[in-house]
Amino acid sequence: MGYRKPGKTDVSSQGPFVAPSFNQSEQALPVTLPLRYMALGLCAFLLFACVLAWQVTRGVLFAPEAPSGVALTHLLTLGALMSFVMGAVYQLSTVAFLMRIVAVRLAHVLFYSYLLGLAGLIGSFSVWWPPGIGVFGVWTAVVLYGFCGNMLVSLFRTKARGAMWRFVFLAHVHLALALTAAVALALGDAHVWRAVAAYQAQILATHILLAAGGFFGFLIFGFSYKLIPMFTLAHGYDARRERWAFWLSLTALWSLVAYIWFPLFALKLVSSCFTVFAFLAHLLAVRAILRRRVRKRVEAPIRGVLMACALGVLWACALAVRAPFFGDSATWRVLVPFGIMGFVSLNVVSLTYKIVPFLVWTWQFAGGHRQGSHVLISHLLDPASARIVIGLNAFGVALVTLGVWMGSGWMCDLGAWALAVSLGIFGVHMSSVFIRALKKEEVS
């Protein structure tokens, strides 16, 4: 082996390199399970786009405290983003860490349980039915606790550990804590646990931070260090910034949670600075990967990831300028949608253009009995088609954020329409992948 400078690492430090395949070994789940979760996420994205457009038309958008606003928010976070992410986690973890999922049957059962709980919870939010919110909220939380437990035990047993593993492992710990806060809120709304009312604002803010930043954010950071090298064929890059990004992110998250409960200026300063540094470290880590890529052309989905990272840096800077106190609802109304739609959702949408076509191709054409097939991944979906979706999404996020900040109704409406159209096109693109695969299967 060649000499490597101290402090330098390459992809081999995160486990043996695996070529761009999602189902190569016996550790991998049946590819249909992740696809099932992603299909649910696709349906939720399409429903979210329709409801968003409908709310803009009726003029009831951007009322987060209203039943329609709460239902729309959870349709995006639990219905679309969580479903996609769970499918991706089940599949990518087996490849990234060369591990087994300890309870595959449980994962199948949890899918149908999650579908039932999600439908009941969104419906209860829509009509604001407190008993339903309590029952289905706890039901959904129990299902997600099962998902967390399944993944945490599986991750704990693997030997391939590094910055990426720490990001993914702690993401599931943060999700479990966010669920605990959600259960407390649901029991409070159902008037079962009346003591929650005194701390409802702090618990809600903690729930949002741990779910959006602690779970989605940590997963995006962690899996980016596997997916971006895989899709750009990068190797031999310096991975030290990944470790910096992890420790900075961890410090930023928990100092911000502490600031919510103890609004001290020192905590505000620490959390704001470390959040900016964490996003910058992540952006530099991604840049280091791209500089060592073999595939010179940067495809549209990877450009979307870079755009989402840039929006994340802007979000962190906005947080540093005005770190929100838990009672500052105006600041939360600006920062929360910007963070979820600008960073989390745009990352998920961008990477989906690479993940879903490959999984569908693996499902239909990659088996040994398909060796005579000449169907390529590019036949199912051209990655360049992501450009319009990414552009409209970023444009919509920017307009909505500026509209909420400036109190401009027309900017909010125009931005919401851009988001609805972009997600509608995204849904059509992803649906076409399944349709084309089935048609080509019939032909072959």
pLDDT tens sequence across 160-176: 788 899 999 999 999 99
Q: For position 60, what pLDDT does the model report?
A: 63
pLDDT classification of 272: cutoffs 50, 70, 90:
confident
Q: For position 196, what pLDDT does the model report?
A: 81
> Is residue 12 over pLDDT 60?
no
Q: For position 325, what pLDDT does the model report?
A: 53
More confident of the two residues 290 and 193: 290
Cα gap 64→339, rounded to integer Å: 15
| Contact assessment for residue 308 and residue 343, using Cβ atoms and an 8 Å cutoff | yes
**CA angle in degrees (0–180, nearest 5) for 142-143-146:** 90
122-159 pLDDT, tens per residue?
999 888 888 888 889 889 999 999 999 999 999 999 88
> Is residue 432 over pLDDT 60?
yes
Q: Looking at 12-21, 50-59, 230-239, 241-250, which range is the least confident one? A: 12-21
Q: What are the Cα distances from residue 195, in Å, to 187, 198, 328?
A: 10, 6, 22
Cα gap 181→378, rounded to integer Å: 43
| Contact assessment for residue 56 and residue 48, using Cβ atoms and an 8 Å cutoff | no
83-124 pLDDT, tens per residue?
999 999 998 898 888 888 998 899 999 999 999 999 999 999
3-state SS track over 74-128? HHHHHHHHHHHHHHHHHHHHHHHCCCCCCCHHHHHHHHHHHHHHHHHHHHHHHHC
More confident of the two residues 260 and 148: 148
> Is residue 444 over pLDDT 70?
no
- For residue 186, the surrounding DSSP H or E stretch is helix 163-189
Average pLDDT over residues 231-250: 89
Q: Looking at 52-61, 254-263, 288-297, 369-378, which range is the least confident one? A: 369-378
381 secondary structure, DSSP code:
-
Give pTM, 2 decimals: 0.86
3-state SS track over 251-296? HHHHHHHHHHHCCCHHHHHHHHHHHHHHHHHHHHHHHHHHHCECCC
> Is residue 15 over pLDDT 60?
no
- For residue 438, the surrounding DSSP H or E stretch is helix 409-443
143 secondary structure, DSSP code:
H
pLDDT classification of 9: cutoffs 50, 70, 90:
very low
327-361 pLDDT, tens per residue?
456 666 777 888 888 899 999 999 999 998 888 88
More confident of the two residues 29 and 145: 145
Q: Is 265 exposed, middle or buried (0-12, 13-18, 19+ CB in 10 A)?
A: exposed
How many residues can be counted in the chain? 444
| Contact assessment for residue 335 and residue 319, using Cβ atoms and an 8 Å cutoff | yes
Q: For position 323, what pLDDT does the model report?
A: 60
| Contact assessment for residue 405 and residue 16, using Cβ atoms and an 8 Å cutoff | no
- For residue 399, the surrounding DSSP H or E stretch is helix 386-406
For the chain, percent of residues with pLDDT exceeding 90: 42
Residue type for position 83: S
For tokens 């009672």, the residue is: 327
Contact partners, residue 422, CB within 8 Å, separation at least 6 = 388, 389, 390, 391, 392, 393, 396
| Contact assessment for residue 443 and residue 372, using Cβ atoms and an 8 Å cutoff | no
* 3-state SS class at 223: helix
> Is residue 193 over pLDDT 80?
no
Task: Give the highest mean pLDDT range of 31-40, 77-86, 396-405.
Answer: 77-86
Q: For position 199, what pLDDT does the model report?
A: 86
Residue type for position 31: V
| Contact assessment for residue 288 and residue 224, using Cβ atoms and an 8 Å cutoff | no
Q: What are the Cα distances from residue 394, in Å, to 188, 267, 323, 390?
A: 36, 31, 23, 6
The count of C-alpha atoms lying within 13 angstroms of the C-alpha of 240, restricted to the half-sphere facing its C-beta, is 5
Average pLDDT over residues 376-403: 89
Contact partners, residue 322, CB within 8 Å, separation at least 6 = 331
> Is residue 264 over pLDDT 50?
yes
Q: For position 7, what pLDDT does the model report?
A: 45
287-319 pLDDT, tens per residue?
999 988 888 888 999 999 999 999 988 888 887
